[in-house]
Amino acid sequence: MPRAIGANSRLLMIPEVTYGTAPGGNWRRVPFLSSSLGAEQPLLDADVIGLGGNRDPAAPFLDTVTVAGDVVVPIDLINTGHWLRLLLGAPTTTGTSPNFIHTFGSGAAALPSQAIETGYPDVPSFDVCTGVRADTLEIDFSPTGPATATIKLVAQGSVRSGATSGGSPLTAAYTAFNKAQGSVTRSGAALAQVTGARLAYSNSIETVRTIRADRRIEGADPGVSRATGQITARFENTTLLTQAQNGTAAEFAFAYTIDANRSLTVTLHEVYLALAKTPIEGPAGVEASFDFRAAFNATATRMMTVVLRNQQPASDYT
């Protein structure tokens, strides 16, 4: 009998019309590197005494169901837009083929949900998680390597079966970004000597646990959105140090660019830096790591804007 292996596994997703209800039709197959999304239901000890003539325990019982996990996905030209829609809501799309500009913004009052199926065709076993919302997104920037994102997901429920719910899955062309295509700018100018950066966005999702016969959560409500991270740079000048000392804000943008029509840009419109040391750790170069936090910007009317340029029409991300 075949055993499940990761190389044959697949991840399918589709937007939900009704929260917690998986739609029919043909789902979308998306590339991924790893996934821990699934249901857990712990056993709790029953500390009951007096059942027998010794100290052995009574039978344990099942607690409530928690459906959550992380997915690590490649940052690519088309599929990343579907994860951004789940994280931030549907974008505003302008432009014409082949240069469509999809603009996502932080702070939406309501967030969409999706159904996601993790498939193990070797067994076969297919785990459909419904009511999936994206809580956090983390991206690391460095000079080399593949560009990836880690997304934390929270779902309402999970059902396993021996057949897929995905119909005939849709598959988009795969064009990956890589870290060598990355750039960091401050107030519109390239930020020099950056050796690494980390960007984290959170929807501060709160799971609403109520008394239900099915032991599922009632919902997953977004709280205050937050964007934080860190920039590490060689100590060449005092630009970042001065900004941190003065407590002033600046606009920072983190981008991956293939060409004028194919790019992904994350702009934090009002960024504050924490004061950082410039330690000397030997004869090599001196680096400083600045933690940052972003805030709402009145001019941009939001904290963060993500712009994805590709050839996909607006209907792909509605």
Which of 236-240, 244-248, 264-268 shows the lowest per-residue confidence on average (mean pLDDT)? 236-240
DSSP assigned state of 55: S
Give the bridge partners for 265, in sequence order.
Answer: 255, 307
Q: Whole-prediction pTM value?
A: 0.94
**Count of residues making up the chain:** 318
Structure confidence by residue, pLDDT tens digits, 182-226: 999 999 999 989 999 999 999 999 999 999 888 899 999 999 999
Amino acid letter, 242: T
Give the three-state DSSP class for 61.
Answer: strand
Q: Which residue has the higher pLDDT, 223 or 53?
A: 223
Please give the average per-residue pLDDT across 15-26, as a whole number.
Answer: 96
Please give the average per-residue pLDDT across 60-84, as a whole number.
Answer: 96
Please give the average per-residue pLDDT across 274-289, as a whole number.
Answer: 78
Q: And the tokens for 222? A: 């977004």
- What's the pLDDT band for 53 if we cut at 50, 70, 90? confident
Give the three-state DSSP class for 80.
Answer: helix
Q: And the tokens for 258? A: 């293939």
Q: Is the pLDDT of residue 122 over 80?
A: yes
290: buried, middle or exposed (CB in 10 Å: 19+, 13-18, 0-12)?
buried
Q: And the tokens for 248? A: 């002033």
The residue assigned the tokens 């014409």 is 96
Euclidean distance between CA atoms 155 and 130, whole angstroms: 6
Q: And the tokens for 255? A: 């981008």
Please give the average per-residue pLDDT across 28-40, as a whole number.
Answer: 97
Give the bridge partners for 88, in sequence order.
Answer: none
Alpha helix segments (H runs only) across 112-200: none
φ, ψ for residue 278, nearest 5 deg: -120, 75
